[in-house]
Chains A and B, each alone.
Chain A
Amino acid sequence: MRTLNRVLEGIGSTILLLLRSVAYLPTLPRQFGRFVEQCYLIGYTTLPIVAILSFFIGSVLALQSGYAAQNLGPKQFIGLLVGLTMARELGPVMVAVLLTGRVGSAIAAELASMKVYQEIDALETMNIPPARMLVMPRLAATLFMMPVLTIIADLVGWFGGAIIAKYTSFIAIEPASYFATMRQYMDFDDVLNGLIKAEVFGFVIVLVCCNIGLNTRGGPREIGAAVTRAVVASLILILVLDYFVTKALM
């Protein structure tokens, strides 16, 4: 009962935080510097790890599907399989997971420490709502950066799969054939589907992490607990939302 109460409280406070943040959206031009800073942290600094991870995810996908197809026959469809999987599923989900680990945890830790050390209270005393200064720029930056990160993840994953498909002896598919099946059977809608999912995931991750950070109570020990809660909640939400968003977009 207590746990349920906490979950409901968490959902309610997150929705309220969302509404407050959206209400402060017109103040974005005045906070452009903060917005750019968050874009830099969320997007630019996350790019290397996203690229490395996507390359290997694409490679492993090609390798596994090639291994499965070597006895079955239709190896030329590896390109399609890697393309669709990266664009519709693994691209957005892996970017969301990386965002949770790298950015979500940092947001939760930063806001939790501000809360614990009463900086949030100080802001409120100065009539500076934390939703306006701390949450809204992060949300806007996430909305801006998630599609960019996701499209890069998709393309790097596709190329990773193409390289592995060419140079693995039991697959040995030319990149031209690999990309031809992708172009023949894929549509931009598939990529767009993934970008929409990534937007939803990023928005929810940042909102949940901000909410958990802002609602931290107690001493410095709670900062670590808040980060753990934020990461766990974000990961669960990513996978749960993944199902529903996929279903909704079909």
Chain B
Amino acid sequence: MNNPQQAARVGLFFLLGVALTWVTFETLSGGKILKDDGYRLIAGFETLKELKVGDEVRMAGVKIGDVAHTRLAGRRAEAVLRIASSVKIKSDAHASIIMAGLIGSNYIGIDLGSANAPDLPPGAEIQTRSTPDLNSVMTQIGEMGKKLEAALGNLGGALSGDGQGGPGLLQKVDLLVTENRENLSKATANLQEITAKVNRGEGTLGRMINDPSLHDDLVASIAEIKAGATEAKTFLANAQSIVDEVKAGKGAIGALVFDQKAGDDLKASIANLRAVSDKIAQDEGTLGKLLSDDSILRDAQAIMKKADRALDGMDDTGPITAVGVIANGLF
């Protein structure tokens, strides 16, 4: 093989290797040759649980850094967080250790904090929140299980009797049923009979359930009630309009109720009427005397009698008078 061809193949092969390395690098590391070292924050916890160096730091679910290292500082554990330079963390943001899965992987979750709080400077300590880990949750579940077991034991004892507190609920119920078996049988038989009657349409309840005409009547009654309600509504609407007009001072009643002058006139009229009636009651004036003195009545009766007789006399002399009148007229 000649050298130029060999060299070309070697060169191609080498370039292929470089290209593949670059593709792998781009895919796995996002193409950053120098890693962004970011800045550090310190997060103190009572316990770091399963947190390890290299675990992720996430804000709202987005990876913003990782745990640079962990250390014991006095009576607490500290995780030094490496945060990307482009991410600013607010001073009131809280960090907490969050379990990502059941196989022991954890990450540090940081909340967003408030928008107007100042940013944490590099090296500052971030506020933390402790979250229950799997073990404490399991312990609590275990305690809850124990309590549940005890409660179920008590319930079982209450139901079946434990030999100390007398017979259990089930025994009592059993005893009650045994003692009242006959009554219960009778009651059941009666109930059966009643339901059979109802089913056959006997009795009020049976008819109500089985007779379709009752339904029709009910529907008709409801229709009548509806019509009555409509009329009542109309009536109320009219009454309302009248009341409105009265309130507006229209009409006689309106004027009477709301017009001050008309009220005053009415008062004055009533006062006058009262004065007149008082005078009549005290036999003052013509009308009073007319009502209280019966001599006037007698006089009137005598007058009427006299008038009656006079009229009778006129009946007899009537034609003569008429001739006289005519003669006077002619002559």
Contacts and interface: CB of A to CB of B under 8 A. Distances in A.
Interface string A194-209: 0100000000000000
Contacts of B27: 183
Contact of B16 (A144, A148, A186): A148
B13 A148 contact: yes
Contacts of B3: 33, 36-37
Interface string A149-179: 1011011000000000000000000000000
Given A36-B7, A40-B6, A40-B9, A188 B14 contact: no
B29 interface: yes
Contacts of A144: 14
B151 interface: no
A183 B28 contact: yes
B130 to A, nearest CB: 27
A28 interface: no
B24 A36 contact: no
Contacts of B25: 188, 191
A186 B29 CA distance: 8
Nearest to A182: B28
Nearest to B25: A188
A194 to B, nearest CB: 10
B227 interface: no
Interface string B23-59: 0110111000000000000000000000000000000
Chain B interface size, under 10 / 10 to 19 / 20 to 34 / 35 or more: 10 to 19
A152 B28 contact: no
B236 interface: no
Contact of B13 (A33, A47, A191): A47
Contacts of B29: 187-189
B10 A39 contact: yes
B28 A191 contact: yes
A245 to B, nearest CB: 19
A137 interface: no
Contacts of B24: 151, 154-155, 188, 191
B17 A152 contact: yes
A26 interface: no
Chain A interface size, under 10 / 10 to 19 / 20 to 34 / 35 or more: 20 to 34
B241 interface: no
A213 interface: no
A188 B10 contact: no
B325 interface: no
B4 to A, nearest CB: 10
B131 to A, nearest CB: 23
A147 interface: yes
B103 A44 contact: no
A182 B24 CA distance: 11
Contacts of B17: 145, 147-149, 151-152
Contacts of B268: none
Contacts of A182: 28
A43 interface: yes
A29 interface: no
A188 B21 CA distance: 9
B20 interface: yes
Nearest to A33: B3
Contacts of B9: 40, 44
B14 A148 contact: yes
B24 to A, nearest CB: 5
Interface in B236-260: none
Q: Which of B9, B21, B103 has the most CB of A within 10 A?
A: B21
B10 A40 contact: yes
B103 A43 contact: no
Contacts of A36: 3, 6-7, 10
A21 to B, nearest CB: 20
11 contacts: A39-B14, A145-B13, A147-B17, A149-B17, A151-B21, A154-B24, A155-B24, A182-B28, A183-B27, A183-B28, A190-B28
Interface of A: 33, 36-37, 39-40, 43-44, 47, 74, 144-145, 147-149, 151-152, 154-155, 182-183, 186-191, 195
The 9 A-B residue pairs with the shortest CB-CB distance in the complex, in nearest-first order: A148-B17, A188-B29, A39-B10, A188-B28, A36-B7, A188-B25, A151-B20, A40-B6, A151-B21
